[in-house]
Amino acid sequence: MPMSNHTPLEDMSSSRGQASNGPPPNCQKVFIQRDYSDGTMVKFQTRFPTELGDRLDRPTFEYTINQLNNYFAEAERASCSTYCEGCLACLTGYLIYICTETHYEKCLRKVAKFVSEQNDRVYRPRGLLLTDPTTRGLRLIEISVLDRPAS
Amino acid sequence: MPRITRKWELFPGRNRFCCDGRVMMAPQTGVFYVTICLIAGTSGLFFAFDCPFLAEHITPAIPVIGCLLFIFVMSALFRTSFSDPGVIPRATPDEAAYIEKQIEVPNNGNSPTYRPPPRTKEVLVRGQPVKLKYCFTCKIFRPPRASHCSLCDNCVERFDHHCPWVGNCVGRRNYRYFYAFIVSLAFLCVFILACAVTHLIMLTKDNKPFVEAVRESPGSVVVSVICFFSVWSILGLAGFHTYLTTSNQTTNEDIKGSFTSKRGQESFNPYSQGNICGNCFYVLCGPAPPSLIDRRGVVTPEYRAEQKRVSEDCVITNNKVYGTVKVVQPQSNGNSVPPVDIEAGEQSTMVHEPSAWGTHQQQQQQPQHNDSSQQSSQPSHLDSLNDITSNSVTHLVMNELPLASLPLAPIDIDEIAPLPPPSIVMNNNNSMNNCNNMRSSSLLEPASVTTPLSASRLRLLQDTTMIESALDLDSLEEASIGHGSQTGLIKMGVP
Ligand SMILES: [Zn+2]
Ligand SMILES: [Zn+2]
C-alpha cells in the first residue's frame, strides 16, 4: 500500500505527546455504528466503510471489528461464572463491588489493550486512529483519518 | 499541586455529585431523605421497643434477622441511589455533526411544504422492528430501550423510571439494586409488622387492657401503624417488579405496551431470554455493565475544549432556530395547525394519571429556580406556556425546542417526565376531522381505550405505591393510538 511516510509519523508522535486520549479534532472521522440485530448487547456493524478504502483492506478492518465484537460478547455472555458473581454480589448486599472488579470491567480492559495494540500495529502507520468505543459510550467505534481535514 | 478537575464537574446532565464524583444522584433528593428517615426511624423504634422483649420471650434470632434485613435494605438503597443508572454519554461534536448530516433530508429549504428530517430510525432486533428516536439533548439516536430522563437530563440505558424515593433514575445499571431494595424492604416491612403485632398481643395476653399494653410499649404501636400502611404499596410494587423481571420488561415498556400485539401484527419482546428463570437470572445476576461516564476521569485540556465545542454548538443551533423559524403554537389553539401527515408514528400522547402528582409538583419547585436563568433567556413565545405555570411543561419545551419550533412539526412530548397537574392534559387528536368528537370525549380515552392493560396497570401501580415518577411515555406506538397516520396535536386544556 503506497503511503507517504512523513505525515502519519508526525501525527503519531504528536498524538502520543497528547497522552493516549482522543484523536485531534478537525479531521475526518468514520463511525462504525452498533448492530442491534441480536438485541442490546454490544456489537458493531462489520460493513466496510468506503471512506477507508484507500487506507485499509477489508480483512484487516473486519478482523478488528470482529475481535472487538468477540470481546464484548465475552463480557456480556450470560455464563455460569457471571451468574455466580452476580449472585454472590447480591448475597453480600452488593458490598462486594466496592472491592472487586466485575467481569465486564476486566473485559473492557482487554478491549482497551486490543485497541491500542491495533493502533500501533495497523492503524497509526496508515494515518488512522481507532478510538476505544468505551470512551464513546459504546455507541460507536470512531476511526479518525488523521491527515484528512473534516469535510 | 494544582487542583485536578474531574469529568463529573463538567458533566452536562443535571445530576448531583458527591464525594468527588463517586456518588451520583438526581438533582432533587428531598424525597430520598424521607425514605431514609422512614426506614431508619421505623427500624430504630422496632429495635428499641420490640426487639428486647421478643429476644427474651421468643428467640434471640429476631434481632439478628431484623438487623441483617435492615443492613441489606440500606445497602441496596444506597447502591441504587448512589450509582450511575446507566447514563449514555452525549455525542461528541463530530458525532453529532455526522448524525445531523445523516438525518438531513435533501430538500430545497424554502419550499412551503418543508418536511422536517425524520427523527427516528428503525432497526430490526431479532426480526422485531424497533424505533430508535433521536434525542435532541444528547444528539444521539437512543439505543433500543433507552430513554431520556428529563429530571436528570440524561439518556439512560434500559430506562425503567425515575424514582424520587430513591433519588435516582432506575436504569440498566441499578435496576438489580432497586429490585433487591424493593423485595428486601417488603420482607423487612412484613417482618417488623409481624413482630410488633406479636409483641402487642403478648402484652395483652394476661387479660391486660390494650391501653396498658400501649402505655408499656408505645413504639410498637407507631411501628405497627407505619408498617401496616406502607406494606401494601411495597408488596404491590415488589409484585409488579417481579412480574417485569420475569418477562424482562421495563416499567417504561410495560406502560407504553411496547410488546403487545397490535393491529394483528405479531409482537413479542425481543429482549427476553425466552423463559422466566432466564429472565430473572439475566436481569438480577447477569453481567454487570460498567459505567460509561468516566466521572472520576481527569479533565484534560482536549476534553475541556471538546466540551466547550459542544456547548457552543448548542447555542448556535438555538439561535438559528429562534432567528429564522417562525414559531407556530399549536398548543394555544389546535385549529391553527392543519393536519399534515408528516411522519407515521410521530404521534405522541400522554396519559395523565392524576394520582400522586402532588409529590412531583413539590419536587418541581426546585428546578424552577434553577432553570429560571435559562428561562429568562428564552424568547417570549414560551410565555403562554409559562402562564400555565407548570414547570414541567416549560421544561419539556426547552428540551425539545428545536423540534417544537419547526413549523408544522408534530410536537413530541417525549421527555415529559414530571406529569403536569390535571388541568393540563395533552390530548391526542387524530386529525382535524376527528378533532371535535375526540375533544368531547374523555381526555384519557385515546390511551386508555387502546392500551387498556397498560393504563390500568399504571393506575394500579400508582394508586398502590404513590411512586409515579418519570415514566417516559414517549410515542405510544402509532397503532396503539388507533386511527392510522395522523398528526398528533397537543392541546392544553386550560380550565
Ligand atoms: Zn437524551
Ligand atoms: Zn432521572
Long-range contacts of the stretch B353-357 (C-beta < 8 A, 24+): B353/B419, B353/B458, B353/B459, B353/B462, B353/B468, B354/B422, B355/B459, B355/B462, B355/B463, B355/B466, B355/B468, B356/B462, B356/B466, B356/B467, B356/B468, B357/B419, B357/B420, B357/B421, B357/B422, B357/B468
Asked whether the beta carbons of residue A82 and residue B285 sit closer than 8 angstroms, the reply is: yes
Most confident by average pLDDT, B97-101, B222-226, B302-306, B318-322: B222-226
- pLDDT tens-digit series, residues A43-64: 999 989 888 888 888 999 999 9
How far is the C-alpha of B468 from the C-alpha of B359, rounded, in Å?
9
- pTM equals 0.70
pLDDT at residue B78 is higher than 60: yes
Protein residues within 5 Å, CB atom, of ion ligand 1: B 135, 137-138, 148, 155
Preferred mutation among A42, A139, A141, A146 to probe B, highest tally of B CBs within 10 A: A139
- pLDDT tens-digit series, residues B38-69: 999 999 999 999 999 999 999 999 999 999 99
CB A45 within 8 A of CB A34: yes
How far is the C-alpha of B67 from the C-alpha of B71, rounded, in Å?
6
Q: How many CB pairs under 8 A join A and B?
A: 122
pLDDT, position B188: 96
How far is the C-alpha of B36 from the C-alpha of B41, rounded, in Å?
8
CB B268 within 8 A of CB B128: yes
Pick the catalytic residue from B138, B149, B163, B435: B163
B163 a catalytic residue: yes
Asked whether the beta carbons of residue B287 and residue A75 sit closer than 8 angstroms, the reply is: yes
Ligand 1 center–CA B88 separation, angstroms? 8
Q: Is the dihedral of CA B462, B465, B468, B474 positive or negative?
A: negative
Span B428-439, mean pLDDT?
Answer: 39
Contacts of A134 in chain B (CB under 8 A): 290, 292
Contacts with A22 (C-beta within 8 Å, 6 or more apart), sequence order: A131, A135, B300, B302, B303, B306
**Helical H runs in B29-141?**
30-45, 51-57, 61-82, 93-103
pLDDT, position B101: 82
Contacts of B295 in chain A (CB under 8 A): none
pLDDT, position A150: 73
Asked whether the beta carbons of residue A90 and residue B290 sit closer than 8 angstroms, the reply is: no
Asked whether the beta carbons of residue A94 and residue B125 sit closer than 8 angstroms, the reply is: no
pLDDT, position B416: 38
Preferred mutation among B67, B79, B100, B295 to probe A, highest tally of A CBs within 10 A: B79
pLDDT, position B225: 93
Q: For residue B11, which phi and psi values (nearest 5 degrees)? A: -60, 130
pLDDT, position A71: 93
Contacts of A93 in chain B (CB under 8 A): 71-72, 75-76, 79, 180
pLDDT at residue B472 is higher than 60: no
- pLDDT tens-digit series, residues B215-249: 888 999 999 999 999 999 999 999 999 999 999 89
CB B39 within 8 A of CB B75: no
Provide the shortest C-alpha distance from residue A60 to chain B (in Å): 24
What secondary structure does DSSP assign to B253-278, as a single string? HHHHTTTS-BTTB----TT--SSHHH
Asked whether the beta carbons of residue A31 and residue B98 sit closer than 8 angstroms, the reply is: yes
pLDDT band of B37, cuts 50, 70, 90: very high
pLDDT at residue B322 is higher than 80: no
pLDDT, position B128: 84
Ligand 2 center–CA B169 separation, angstroms? 4
CB B383 within 8 A of CB B403: no
* Residue with more model confidence, B273 or B182: B182
pLDDT band of B35, cuts 50, 70, 90: very high
Q: Which of A39, A76, A90 sits opposite B180 (nearest CB)?
A: A90
* Residue with more model confidence, B370 or B82: B82
**Residue of chain A nearest B138, judged by CA positions:** A137
Preferred mutation among B82, B98, B159, B296 to probe A, highest tally of A CBs within 10 A: B98
* Residue with more model confidence, B32 or B451: B32
Contacts with B359 (C-beta within 8 Å, 6 or more apart), sequence order: B31, B164, B466, B468
CA distances from B132 to A35, A88, B96, B200 (A): 12, 35, 16, 57
pLDDT, position A21: 52
Q: Please give the single-letter amino acid code of residue B377.
A: S
Asked whether the beta carbons of residue A25 and residue B309 sit closer than 8 angstroms, the reply is: yes
CB B90 within 8 A of CB B310: yes
CB B158 within 8 A of CB B146: yes
Instruction: For chain A, give the mean pLDDT.
Output: 80
Preferred mutation among A38, A94, A101, A140 to probe B, highest tally of B CBs within 10 A: A94
pLDDT band of B422, cuts 50, 70, 90: very low
pLDDT at residue B150 is higher than 50: yes
pLDDT at residue B446 is higher than 80: no
What secondary structure does DSSP assign to B260-325, as a single string? S-BTTB----TT--SSHHHHHHHHHHS--PPPSS-TTSBPPHHHHHHHHHHHHHHHHHHHHHHHHS
Of B495, B475, B472, residue with least CA distance to B485: B475
**Residue of chain A nearest B303, judged by CA positions:** A22
pLDDT band of B420, cuts 50, 70, 90: very low
pLDDT, position B242: 95
Of B479, B474, B488, residue with least CA distance to B142: B474
pLDDT, position B263: 62
Ligand 1 center–CA B159 separation, angstroms? 11
Provide the shortest C-alpha distance from residue B186 to chain A (in Å): 15
Ligand 2 center–CA A104 separation, angstroms? 24
Q: Are strands A140-145 and A128-131 parallel, antiparallel or unpaired?
A: antiparallel
pLDDT, position B281: 87
Three cell numbers written together for B227: 408498617
Three cell numbers written together for B447: 390511551
Contacts of A21 in chain B (CB under 8 A): 300, 302-303
CA dihedral A9, A11, A14, A17 (to 10 degrees): -80
Whose cell is 460507536? That residue is: A140
**Residue of chain B nearest A138, judged by CA positions:** B292
Q: Which of B79, B95, B143 sits opposite A94 (nearest CB)?
A: B79
Q: Does residue B348 come out as left (phi exceeding 0), alpha (psi in the -120 to 50 range) or beta?
A: beta
How far is the C-alpha of B80 from the C-alpha of B363, rounded, in Å?
19
What secondary structure does DSSP assign to B411-439, as a single string? PP-TT--SPPPTT-----B--HHHHHHHH
Whose cell is 469529568? That residue is: B7
Q: Which of A77, A83, A137 sits opposite B281 (nearest CB)?
A: A83
pLDDT at residue B342 is higher than 50: no
Asked whether the beta carbons of residue B126 and residue A75 sit closer than 8 angstroms, the reply is: no
ipTM for the predicted complex comes to 0.82
How far is the C-alpha of B217 from the C-alpha of A120, rounded, in Å?
73
pLDDT at residue B466 is higher than 70: no
Ligand 2 center–CA B163 separation, angstroms? 7
Contacts of B287 in chain A (CB under 8 A): 75-78, 82, 86, 102-104
Q: Are strands B128-135 and B120-125 parallel, antiparallel or unpaired?
A: antiparallel
pLDDT band of A93, cuts 50, 70, 90: confident
Contacts with B433 (C-beta within 8 Å, 6 or more apart), sequence order: B339
Whose cell is 463517586? That residue is: B22
Contacts of A42 in chain B (CB under 8 A): none
Give 3-state DSSP helix, strand, coil % of chain A, rounded to 5. Answer: 50, 10, 35
Q: Please give the single-letter amino acid code of residue B234.
A: I
Work out the end-to-end distance of chain A between its first and last CA atoms, rounded to an integer number of angstroms.
24
Q: What order do you get walking across the sheet with B87-88 strand by strand?
A: B87-88, B154-156, B147-149
pLDDT at residue A8 is higher than 50: no
Q: Residues in chain A whose beta carbon is closer than 8 A to a beta carbon of chain B? A: 18-19, 21-22, 25, 29, 31, 34, 36-40, 75-78, 82-83, 85-87, 89-90, 93-95, 97, 102-105, 108, 134-140, 142, 150
DSSP run (H or E) holding A30: strand A28-33
Dmax (CA) for chain B in angstroms is: 91
Three cell numbers written together for A54: 484507500
Which ligand has the shortest distance to the CA of B136? 1
pLDDT, position A22: 63
Q: Which of B95, B284, B309 sits opposite A31 (nearest CB)?
A: B95
Percent with pLDDT over 70 in chain A: 84
The β-bridge partners of B140 are: B135
Please list, residue by residue across B314-341, b when 16 or more beta carbons sit within 10 angstroms of its beta carbon and e when fewer do: beebbeebeeeeeebebbeebeebebee
